[in-house]
Amino acid sequence: MLNIVLHEPEMPANTGNIGRTCVAIGARLHLIEPLGFIINDKTLKRAGLDYWDKLDVTVYRDYQDFLDKNPNAKIYMATTKAHKTYTQVKYEEDAYIMFGKESAGIPEEILVDNEDTCVRIPMFGDIRSLNLSNSVAIVAYEAMRQQGFTDLSLEGELHRLHWKE
């Protein structure tokens, strides 16, 4: 099962959207405090719609608490400071993909210790970053694609209506 990790997320709407994405792909969500909102924030629940109760979510006191409780985690760090793109790595089934807070990303001291697992989303020119929930969706779906979209519905169905008799 894929793991999405948010390091000190600030905006409840982004976290709600990310929670909804996690439910859609069967991923776990890990939230590292401090959070910029309370976990029962109405905006968080609104963005997650009726999916929040289906979400596998764990909250940690800080980054060290996260590491202590996930000692064998292979963690990819999504950052604009990475040397390779998110498509240049092979994500394990139980990979952890970490994203930083909206205003500052993942702290530099964490990135320096994990430089070989840092990945970036290519962007044009001097664009600083993408929206956090969009970034999570891009990288998470690449990980799922690499795994053959295991357990995801691959086909939809049109409901053909007969408008003319």
Q: For residue 100, say whether it is annotated as part of any ligand binding site.
A: yes
Q: For residue 121, say whether it is annotated as part of any ligand binding site.
A: yes
Q: Which residues, including other chains, have CB under 8 Å from residue 98's CB and lie 6 or more apart?
A: 5, 6, 7, 75, 76, 77, 78, 106
Binding residues for S-adenosyl-L-methionine: 100, 121, 129
Binding residues: 100, 121, 129
